[in-house]
Every structure is written in structure tokens, then in C-alpha cells.
Amino acid sequence: MSAPYRIGYGEDAHRLEAGRPLVLGGVPVPHAPLGAVAHSDGDAALHALADALLSGLALGDIGQYFPDTAAECKDLDSAVIVARALELVRGRGYRPVNVALVVTLDRPKLGPLRAAIARRMAELLSLPETEVGVSFKTSEGLAPAHVQARATVLLARLDP
């Protein structure tokens, strides 16, 4: 018998460069001096979330489903990756209960985007936005050209 609850964890990082857009949790970051270098849209928060969803049920990681060498993944909207991970979770008979996300970025300060990111991620998971906790850290100058995201998710069995 499978457990009524499962915990998933995921993390992701992207190198940052000038002249590229920065998207986090499905929300474009205005006035970002640097943007993510990536094959997809480089949304570290959604990549960490998708990996958390998959890891909770030992379904591997997003690289297996969306290889970064695949032409169809070029500039891919990461909402598609989260939707696929969620579909796999539901296929196993589980649903997400709540999410905790931590994003580490030096500039710009992300505080003003906290509500928008929580709202968008909750929307992608069909959860109330009160079920998505979003925390921001800086690297204290250790990794100024990096964005990193870590996500945990609690999954509950649909019919316990």
C-alpha cells in the first residue's frame, strides 16, 4: 500500500548573462540586469517545482522528459514542464497539497514579486495561493551571476 503522503524536493540553477530575460515562477522579472542562460525559458523556480513533483513519486527528473538537446524544448514555456509533471503525479493517484519555494538571486530584489509568483505557481497546480510559500535569499555576493531555486512539495494520495 502506498503512503498517504509523499514529500518531493527539487532544485535548479541557471547562469545569468546580460541581455536575456529573467522569468521566475512563471513571472517575468522587470528590470533584471541579467537573465538566464538556458535552452528553455530558464525558469529556475518552475524547474525546481517540476523536479519536486517528480521526485515525490520517484519519477525521475525533468531532464528525462524534456532533454535540453531536444529541438522542441528550445525556448519552451516552463509551465508546460510543470503541467507534464503534474499529469504524471495525478496519474499515480496523488495531488500536491502545498509547496515551499526558495529562490536565491542577488539582483534585483524579488520581494515585490512574491505575491505574483505564489499566485502563478498556485494556478499551475490548481491550489489556493496560500498553499505556495515563497522565500527569497541573496548569495551575499558569492554568486552574482547565478539564479538558484529549491522547492519542496507535499503530495497526498487522492483516495486514501
Q: Please enumerate, by residue number, every residue annotated as part of a binding site.
A: 12-14, 39-40, 47, 61-63
- 47 is a site residue for Zn ion (CB under 5 A): yes
Binding window for Zn ion (CB under 5 A); candidates: 26-34, 43-51, 91-99, 141-149: 43-51
Query: Which among 8-16, 21-29, 120-128, 130-138 is the span making contact with Zn ion, rule CB under 5 A?
Result: 8-16
Are the CB atoms for 49 and 81 separated by under 8 Å?
Answer: no
Residue 51 binds Zn ion, judged by CB under 5 A: no
The nearer residue to Zn ion, 47 or 150, going by C-beta atoms, is 47
Contact 140, 8 (CB under 8 A): no
- Of 135, 134, 59, give the one whose Cα is nearest residue 90: 59
3-state SS of the chain: helix, strand, coil percent to 5?
A: 30, 30, 40
Among the listed residues 53, 4, 43, the one whose alpha carbon sits nearest the alpha carbon of residue 21: 43
Q: How far apart are CA 12 and CA 103, in angstroms?
A: 10
Pick 47 or 114: Cβ nearer Zn ion? 47
Q: Is 150 in the site for Zn ion (CB under 5 A)?
A: no
12 binding Zn ion? (CB under 5 A): yes
Site residues, Zn ion (CB under 5 A): 12, 47
